Amino acid sequence: MVHSLSLQDFLLRARVLKLYRQALRIARRAPDHAQADLRQTIRQEIEKNRYCDDKQRIRFLLSEGLERVKDLDEMLDMQGH
């Protein structure tokens, strides 16, 4: 069965996937011993809300996720990674 997405759903899904890829790219800069745990945590956070269909909640989670990715990026910069 093919599930067709509305344009709005498609765009939200694209934003979530972009955030996920961005988080994984930043996680590669973490120290070797922390990378696996960090990747697992990122995946768990995405999976935890996989079946959420409330668009307002998805937008909230996206903004929260972007903030957390930005904080991780800054933290790794300060540590020189």
* Sequential DSSP letters for 15-72: HHHHHHHHHHHHHTTS-HHHHHHHHHHHHHHHHHTTT---HHHHHHHHHHHHHHHHHH
The residue behind tokens 């409330």 is: 54
pLDDT in tens, 2-55: 578 899 999 999 999 999 999 999 999 999 999 999 999 999 999 999 999 999
Q: Is 24 exposed, middle or buried (0-12, 13-18, 19+ CB in 10 A)?
A: middle
pTM above 0.85, yes or no: yes
